[in-house]
Structure 1
Amino acid sequence: MFNKENKKPMAADNSLGGSNRIIAGTIIKGEVNSASDFRIDGEIEGNITTTGRLVVGKDGIIRGEVICANADVEGTIIAKSLIVKGTLSLKSTANIQGTVQAEKLAIEPGAIFNVTCSMGGASTKTTINNEPIKKESK
């Protein structure tokens, strides 16, 4: 009846349309892995990896490494490494610090973006804080 040899690990199925949510007042310390979309309104102190979209609400805070497909940020990310394979979208209340690698970047006026940023394979060091992006000349 409880034969361990017949048990197969269940694969994550993102086709179910499920998503995860960390609500305000919740603090998670450790590593989080998900095959679904993820919304953070609480705090994560550790690494988060998702093959879906990451949404950080206005009161959401992430301290750690982040890897995701796409990200919409209203809150705070203090990341040793933030890797977004698609589009990183920063709302006016966003505060991003650390190292960022993204394919595309959209920043609303008012967002704080104090990072070392790499886009499309090109590395650019910049600090943006309510100022236009200036292209570096080589």
Structure 2
Amino acid sequence: MFNKSEKIEEKRTIAVEQTDTSNVISKETRITGDIQALGNIRIEGSVDGTIYSKGRVVIGEVSVIKGNITSVEAEISGKVEGEVTCTEILFLRRSAIISGNITTQKLVVENGAVFNGKCQMNTNAMVVSKSEDKNEQRGKQSATG
């Protein structure tokens, strides 16, 4: 029915649709557990767990995050208790309160933002999904015996 080129094109379309999506967690929502997304995430509620995104993460003013954030880009206006890792740029808005270390390539801090931790700025900040991290650990265990 379908030839190989049609199947490949269909898979590309699905991949593009997944990475162009945005996920929104409203003010009334509390999540306990990890979040992993290919697209952008906007959090206005609270999360008790790790956030992974291959896109942009936006944390609203009244949001509380208890866990690490790993993404390409992040904009934080709320409270984060955990490490923040961005491969490109991290924006700390004036209402941001960060308790944890930051690793990013570029950092923009507005007057009034609070940051308690260490900051490392380099071009080697990595975004690793949970599944990629587990596969890497398995490979290291196999190699060492």
TM range (shorter): 0.7 to 0.9
Instruction: Mark the runs of 5 or more structure 1 residues left unpaired by the alignment.
Output: 1-9, 123-138
Distance 1:14 1:107, change over 3 A: farther
What residue in structure 1 maps to residue 120 of structure 2? 118
The 5-angstrom pairing of residues 1-138 of structure 1 reads 13-15=15-17, 17-79=20-82, 81-120=83-122
The AA in structure 1 aligned to 2:80 is I
Q: Which amino acid aligns with 2:98?
A: I
Q: Distance in 1 between matches of 2:101 and 2:87?
A: 14
TM-score (norm 2): 0.71
**RMSD, aligned CA:** 2.0
**How many residue pairs end up in the alignment?**
112
Per-residue CA deviation, residues 53-81 of structure 1 (Å, 9 max, x unaligned), is 000011111111111000011111111x2
**What residue identity is the alignment partner of 1:37?**
N
State the SS of the aligned residue for 2:111: coil
Residues 14 and 36 in structure 1, CA contact (< 8 A), matched pair in contact too:
no
Between the aligned residues of both structures, percent identity stands at: 29
Measure the CA separation in 2 of the matches of 1:62 and 1:87: 19
The 1:82–1:14 alpha-carbon spacing in structure 2 relative to 1, beyond 3 Å, is: farther
Distance 1:98 1:41 in 2: 20
Query: Residues of 2 paired with 1:26 and 1:51: CA distance?
Result: 22
More helix by percentage: 2
What secondary structure is seen at the aligned counterpart in 1 of 2:101? strand
Extract structure 1 runs of 4+ deviating beyond 3 A.
none
